[in-house]
Amino acid sequence: MKASSECRGCLQRLVYQAAELATSHESVRAKAKEKGLEVVSTHFSLDAITIVIATKIHDVVKRVTGNPDPYREMKDREIAMARELFREAVQNHGDGFKGLLKLAALGNAIDFFKPLESVRADMKRQIEFVIDDSEEFEVKRRDAKRILYLADNAGEVFFDLPLLKYLRRFTRVIYVVKAEPVQNDITLYDVKRAGVEMEVGEVMTTGTATPGIDFAVASEEFKREFAAADLVFAKGMGYWETLSELPAEGRVFYCLRAKCRPVAASLGVPLDSYVAVLR
């Protein structure tokens, strides 16, 4: 997905957010913001992939502030909140594929910046997919020998587990996380910290610290697994923003909530729609 004019403002806000989270020293924050905004100015164009620019922003902020994981405290809070919210949410979803898919999508929709009670209210809203290719995915799943499950944010792991366990009843599933911290994306360390390492099962990393996936810097191991997978379950907007640039082969299944106008427009759905797209 190529950038739109709106994406520049979002990237600039990302600079400020990352710098604010990375350090409490005002002079260092100011320097991080300055260098981050330079990245946006230098690399932004309507032919760019925003995730690639976002990765450069995070790299600069980490380097300037000396903080390798600016979102650490946020992720800790997210994991704690998600564990509690999951116990409530799981009771409202069936144990069939469609119910578990909606539960996984609900995890992607949660805004952990909001107060807990506000998040609880959001969770009570009914999930319906504006684009729903779930039946096509299930048909292809029956013949799949290997599925890559590309995870998104740290707190979502609890909401992913029931679907992971369901899929593993039929085929091999590899849960894919980030190799190093980036934003609030889940890493192998976060899986262990959440106490779900044994439940997650087989896990690997992308070999890099990028939102979504940038094949230019991903590990050779990940690229081999991606090429060999019969199906790829891609969670969250970051993967749509990056993988949608690849030729459509009918094997990547995107599960997300379109939280911004450019992503919604690229999918052809209203803002904040849930989609389950096989492409």
- Judged against a pLDDT cut of 70, whether residue 113 lies above it is answered with no
Residue type, 125: R
Q: What is the pLDDT of residues 27-77, one digit of tens each?
A: 999 999 999 999 999 999 999 999 999 999 999 999 999 999 999 999 998
19 — pLDDT class (breaks 50, 70, 90)? very high
Contact 89, 155 (CB under 8 A): no
Q: Render 64-81 in DSSP notation, one character per residue.
A: HHT-S-TTHHHHHHHHHH
Q: What is the pLDDT of residues 119-176, one digit of tens each?
A: 777 777 789 999 999 999 999 999 999 999 999 999 999 999 999 999 999 999 999 9
* Region 176-195 average pLDDT: 96
In this structure, of 46-60, 106-120, 185-199, the range with the lowest mean pLDDT score is 106-120
- Name the residue ranges covered by the structural domains of the chain: 5-65, 72-278
Q: Render 168-226 in DSSP notation, one character per residue.
A: HTTSEEEEEEBSS--TTB-BHHHHHHTT-HHHH-SEEE-SS--SS--TTTS-HHHHHHH
Q: Name the pTM for this structure.
A: 0.95
Q: What CATH topology corresponds to 72-278?
A: Rossmann fold (3.40.50)
User: What is the model's pLDDT at position 118?
Assistant: 78
9-36 burial, b for 16+ CB within 10 Å, e for fewer? ebbbebbebbbebbbeeeebbebbbebb
Inter-CA distances, 29 with 3, 16, 24, 42, Å: 27, 9, 7, 20
- Judged against a pLDDT cut of 90, whether residue 8 lies above it is answered with yes
- In whole angstroms, give the CA distance from residue 43 to residue 50: 9
SS3 content of the chain, % helix, strand, coil (to 5): 55, 15, 35
Task: Name which of 127, 124, 129 is nearest 88 in CA terms.
Answer: 124
Strands (E), the chain: 129-132, 146-150, 172-177, 203-205, 231-235, 252-257, 274-278
Q: What is the pLDDT of residues 231-279, one digit of tens each?
A: 999 999 999 999 999 999 999 999 999 999 999 999 999 999 999 999 9
User: What is the model's pLDDT at position 138?
Assistant: 97
- In whole angstroms, give the CA distance from residue 167 to residue 200: 12
In this structure, of 81-90, 128-137, 220-229, 246-255, the range with the lowest mean pLDDT score is 81-90
Q: What CATH topology corresponds to 5-65?
A: Helicase, Ruva Protein; domain 3 (1.10.8)
Task: Name which of 170, 185, 275, 174 is nearest 229 in CA terms.
Answer: 174
User: What is the model's pLDDT at position 116?
Assistant: 75
258 Cβ partners below 8 Å, 6+ apart?
237, 264, 267, 269, 270, 271, 272, 273, 274, 275
In this structure, of 8-17, 63-72, 86-95, 115-124, the range with the lowest mean pLDDT score is 115-124
